[in-house]
Structure 1
Amino acid sequence: MTQNDWSERLAGAVAKEVRRHRKRQGMSAQELADRCANLGMPLKRSVLANLESGRRTTVTLAELIVLARALGVPPLLLAFPVAQEEHTEVLPGQTVGTWAAAKWFTGDDPFPTRDKDSGNWFVTSDDFDEWQSGAEAIDRMRWQDRYFAQLSGAHSRAEGARKAAETASTSAEREAHLRTAEAEQRTAEAIEREIRFNRNAMRKAGLTPPELRPESQHLDDITAEDRRGASGQ
């Protein structure tokens, strides 16, 4: 078995998924070619036909990305057909569960290894250490997504409590809603400190945080209070 054999099989697996997604959408090969061209990377209908038929045995990363966008699916699903194939030959001669391969590809899990005697899957300590080190950037990005989801929730609950206070039928009810709004506002401020701390930590680690929305630009202002208050620092 050679590396070329595996790369051809991998290209064939991608081609199979391209054809499946195209057929599922009732899209002709010419329509797919036109969509690729509109995205800035022309792929002739004949090229797509040769790919799907197996006459073309290579797929570049650029082609994978533009085909995925043209088909409206994540690029991951063309490389690793989750929920379509039980196993995937993720490396030459190394077949793993397709979902496990997908999670390794996205940085969610380390690379799995099958025990020759029991057939069970496990992760070696070396693979875990390498994954843990390499996945730092992805992990920090995901944490920021979680922080912003929590921040949005706190702001929404605070606003809801303020509106409820405006229509409260008694002063006691109004005061209760205002206390809730204040508590949610404090929660939002604490989350903002965590976001600032996380973004600052990313920069110190040589990483580039994702772009902030205009209304959130203030979150890149690191203060002494933020350094003391975030993550128990």
Structure 2
Amino acid sequence: MTQCRSDHRYEKDTEVDDLEWEDHVMATVAGEVRRRRKELRWSAQDLADRCEEIGYPIPRNVIANMESGRRAVLPLVEVMVLAKALHMSPIGLLYPVGYVAEVRQLPYEDPRPTWDALQWFTGNSPAEGATDYMLDHFLVHDLELRSALAAVESEDYERWKVRTAANRVQREAAERALARYADQAAEAKRELLHHREAIREGGGTPPHLPSQLADIDPPDTDPTEENDL
């Protein structure tokens, strides 16, 4: 048995198998839409108005039928629009961490912690038999990008301390720190370049680099040309 908030259409100690898997997913999304709408103190019409402002109308009666469980389908595009209208991310509607303790990730599977299911959905945890290596490279690229930016910013700060040191002791300390951060920045850039090359070799286009790291790519690499290939 599992316990979920009544906003998500489950009472305490409800047998998970009482609902088909697709109904379980829809009930979770509908419950989170209802919970968030109430949190914002909006009516169903308020939410419908905001969907229309976004450019993809979802009528009030459709929202009401979804929340009450009378609707048989819930298109992905509506999840995206509802999330935008409710000032949320779409993943927060599918996996409402903190509000639903467990969800059924796939049919015929036992419930698992909502946070674990969210990590699987976003590719942040290993998936059995997964071969989406491009996603793996992009995830690591993001981590290395943050590391490289932090190292470069620290290097710039220590360089400024060297220039503005009031005495020899301060300058020498700043120079030692500058050398450490310069090594870290160089290593982070090498790792970042490795994953950018792997992305290209896999037929993909690496993410845009901020100006502080523009020197990582070879001079003859033009991102606009990659996008045209």
Tell me the TM-score normalized by structure 1. 0.75
Residue 195 of structure 1: CA displacement? 1.2
Residue number in structure 2 paired with 1:150: 147
Task: Specify every segment of 5 or more residues in structure 2 that has no aligned partner in the other structure, as ranges.
Answer: 1-18, 221-229
Amino acid at match of 2:46: E
- Partners in 1 of 2:177 and 2:26 — Cα distance? 56
Kept after mapping to 2: 8 A contact 1:192/1:219: yes
The answer on whether the counterparts of 2:137 and 2:198 sit within 8 Å (CA) in structure 1 is: no
Q: Residue 9 and residue 147 in structure 1: after superposition, are their counterparts in 2 closer, same or farther (change >3 A)?
A: closer
What is the number of residues matched between the two proteins? 201
Please name the residue that 1:179 is paired with: 176
Deviates more, 1:74-83 or 1:193-202: 74-83
Deviation, 1:187, is 2.5
Give the aligned partner of residue 120 of structure 1. Answer: none
Cα separation, 2, equivalents of 1:107 and 1:215:
28
Match for residue 102 of structure 1 among 85, 106, 118: 118
Tell me how far 1:215 sits from its aligned partner. Answer: 4.8
| AA at the equivalent of 1:99 | W
Deviation of residue 100 (structure 1)?
Answer: 2.5
What residue is the counterpart of 2:192 in the other structure? 195
Matched, 1:28 2:43: yes
Percent of aligned pairs with the same amino acid: 35
- Aligned 1:6-85 pairs, distance under 5 A: 6-85=21-100
Q: Give the Cα separation in 2 of the matches to 1:165 and 1:214.
A: 23
Give per-residue Cα distances to partners, 1:76-105, cap 9 Å, x unaligned: 221122222222123233232122322221
**Alpha-carbon spacing, 1:189–1:109, altered in 2? closer, same or farther (3 Å):** closer
TM-score (norm 2): 0.77
Alignment of 1:96-175 (within 5 A): 96-97=111-112, 98-110=114-126, 127=128, 130-131=129-130, 133-134=131-132, 136-175=133-172
Cα shift at 1:18: 0.6
User: Whose helix proportion is higher, 1 or 2?
Assistant: 1
The one-letter code matched in structure 1 to 2:82 is L
Greater RCO (Cα-Cα under 8 Å, separation 6 or more): 2
